[in-house]
Amino acid sequence: SHSDHGRNMALTLIAVGEGKAPGFQVKDEKKLRRVAGYLGVPTDKRTTQEIALDVGKTALAEFGKQEGELLYLKRAPQKRQEIWRKLQIAPRGIDREVTEAMHRTTMGVDQDAEHILLQAMRVSLADGWGGSMLSTDISDILFGTPTPVMGAFNFGVLQEDQVNIVIHGHEPTLAELIVVMANDPDLLKYAESKGAKGINVVGMCCSGNELLMRHGVPMAGNFLQSDLIMASGAVEAMVVDYQCTMQGMQAAAEHYHTRVITTSPKAKITGATHIEFDDHRGPEIAKLIIRTAIDTFPNRKKVHIPNYIEPAIVGFSHEYIAYMQGGSYRESFRPLNDAIMNGRIRGAAGVAGCNNPHTMHDNAHVNIIKELIKNDVLVVTTGCAIAGGKHGMLTPEVMEFAGPGLREVCQAIGIPPVLHMGSCVDNSRILTVLSQCATEGGLGEDISDLPAVGIAPEWMSEKALTIGTYLAASGVYTIFGMDSPVAGSKEVTRMISEGWEEKTGGKLEFEADWRKIVEKSLAHIDAKRKALKLEEYNPQRYAQSAAYRPADYLSEDDFRKGKYTLSSK
Ligand code: NFS
């Protein structure tokens, strides 16, 4: 799914290169040139458009490639690449690996669990280091590489007197155009003629993350809130492309005045309005969608917007993380590696993944993040794990509740202890950060040497499993909450844990209790520190930091109870 999304991004870039995508352009030329370098596309004496066309075509060719290796594998540490080659799991082409997996799992084909699981790793690597990484890169080229921006979370971002359009799904293309067109004077006038004071675009799930991190467009919520938000009676249009759209969405919308608008040629919902996106006619389609939302505004009945809103600092791309550690003159990962080596930062954790209706919404996400930062673990989040954002955890103020060493580093650099890195395809940014930490020096030579973990506490989607698998195949200890889909087999459970650890240095485990997830994460981080012969983690060493200033507005106890920031509009 993420790779197929990446394919669409490549097609849009090709259309831009051909001059056939009105409304779109190359926004980040520096990134275009860097990506051209990764893909072997010549840049000398060539126009932006020529390079864009070739980058798009080369990216697209990665999907249909039959032989060799994906070009982006070279972005992994050397040692990691060798492990993949030795295991024969270096992906050849993105589509080829998916097709082969479908073949091998057909009746009567591959009948050795360990062997099938190797192909599972190969497919997932194609997804992480191929489709997702290409998707992230092309999104940055077309819409800009994110840098920190102020955003806001939760239902309070809806506006009572405006036309509210919720952008839900995954692709940033149409979403970007809707944001631009919402400022069109004719459409604003049209909205006024229907009694609205403006047009308010808000995000949800991963499309929301894309808009949030590039423009600070407010984020109404994550996966489990996508039906609930319509009950506010204030959502004129729920615009969805594909993935993570609740199957009862249209049925729920029929109780309110909301129009569900599907936009992808790949996904329709019975009863919903289908306005298909085509990047050759982008602005026209974006306008039609906004018009449809405006026409719905007069049908409003009872409106109740829950009065919750939280500010957040978001948009930490891997480029910005390098930049913030030395500016453009000497950007690097040295300060971060040093902080981990001397124990100010104990380790790092990526908290990612979905919400799941089988568990209390956001509870595990929020508690795990709180406990990790308290224990000096730097946290990065993506996807619906931005749950922490709704609880005020993506603000620098939260550093007051971080452990003393982590707090010192955050104060020195001026960052929150929880860094928002974007949507789920942007887990590829985490792969890049891990590679850069591993090759910077001082923390071993490979991703599996790093004191780091990946966690998806409330996962539900197949996509999350793929992410967990490519993290494990890349050498990361990955812990999923909820239930294990392979719990029925002790042997397979062992294979993806100890078995994969022997092969790749990473492993995938399932643990339903969030407290145990924290315990296992810290134990793993400490074990990796020991293996690297780093100083033993000692929070007392940094507790005397002169910069430390206790929170004067909240007690730590309140923070632990989760009371600490929910504020009203
Ligand atoms: Ni990721 Fe995005 Fe959310 Fe889960 Fe779904 S929105 S791609 S799959 S539910 S984090």
Q: Is the Cβ atom of 384 under 6 angstroms away from ligand 1? A: yes
Beta strands in 486-555 (DSSP E): 507-510
Q: Is the CB of 521 under 6 A from ligand 1?
A: no
* Of 170, 560, 270, nearest in space to 393 by CA: 560
Q: Fill in the DSSP letter of residue 554.
A: S
Nearest alpha carbon to residue 22 among 290, 284, 210: 284
Check if 224 has its Cβ closer than 6 Å to any atom of ligand 1. Answer: no
Give the closest residue (by CA) to ligand 1 atom 7.
424
The minimum-distance atom of ligand 1 relative to the CA of 352 is: 10
Measure 222 CA to ligand 1 centroid, in angstroms: 8
All residue ranges of the chain with pLDDT < 50 are 546-554, 560, 562-569
Closest residue (by CA) to atom 9 of ligand 1?
A: 354
Of 4, 212, 243, 459, the residue with max ligand 1 atoms within 8 A of its CB, to mutate for a pocket test, comes to 243
Q: At what angle do helices 2-17 and 48-64 cross, to 10 degrees?
A: 150
Q: Is any ligand 1 atom within 6 A of the Cβ of residue 353?
A: yes
User: Is the minimum distance from the CB of 219 to ligand 1 under 6 angstroms?
Assistant: no
Amino acid at 208: G
Output the pLDDT for position 70: 98
Amino acid at 525: I
**Token pair listed for 202:** 């808000």
Are 245 and 464 a contacting pair, CB within 8 Å?
A: no
Q: Whose CA is nearest to atom 1 of ligand 1?
A: 424
The Å distance, Cα 267 to ligand 1 centre, comes to 16
Which pTM was predicted? Answer: 0.94
- Tokens 């049908």 belong to residue: 299
Q: Which of 463, 465, 469 to mutate to test the pocket of ligand 1 (most atoms within 8 A of CB)?
A: 463
Backbone angles phi, psi at 407, to 5 degrees: -60, -45
- Rounded to whole angstroms, the Cα distance separating 355 from 384 reads 7
180-196 exposure pattern, b = at least 16 Cβ within 10 A, e = fewer: ebbebeebbebbeeeeb
Atom 4 of ligand 1, residue of closest alpha carbon = 354
Q: At what angle do helices 514-531 and 363-374 cross, to 10 degrees?
A: 40
CB atoms near residue 508 (< 10 Å): 29
Consecutive H or E run containing 454: strand 452-456
8 Å CB contact between 91 and 125: yes
Q: What share of residues in the chain are helix, strand, coil (percent, to 5)?
A: 50, 10, 40
**Ligand 1 pocket test target in 244, 425, 429, 471 with most atoms within 8 Å of CB:** 244
> Does the beta carbon of 223 lie inside 6 Å of ligand 1?
yes
Q: Is the dihedral of CA 420, 447, 455, 400 positive or negative?
A: negative
Give the pLDDT of residue 546: 45
For residues 533-565, one letter each, b for 16 or more C-beta atoms within 10 angstroms of the residue's C-beta and e for the rest, the string is ebeebebeebeeeeeeeeeeeeeeeebeeeebb
What is the rounded distance in angstroms from the CA atom of residue 280 to the CA atom of residue 293? 22
E runs forming strands in 477-546: 477-480, 507-510
CA 219 to CA 213: how far, in whole Å? 10
Atom of ligand 1 nearest to the CA of 205: 6
- DSSP codes of every residue in 227-261: TGGGGGS--SEEEE-SSS--TTHHHHHTTSSPEEE
Q: What local confidence, expressed as pLDDT, does residue 563 receive? A: 46
H-run or E-run covering 428: helix 427-440
pLDDT at 542: 76
Handedness of CA 172, 173, 177, 178 (dihedral sign): negative
The pLDDT value given to residue 103: 98
- Residues near 369 by beta carbon (within 8 Å), at least 6 away in sequence: 351, 379, 381, 388, 393, 418
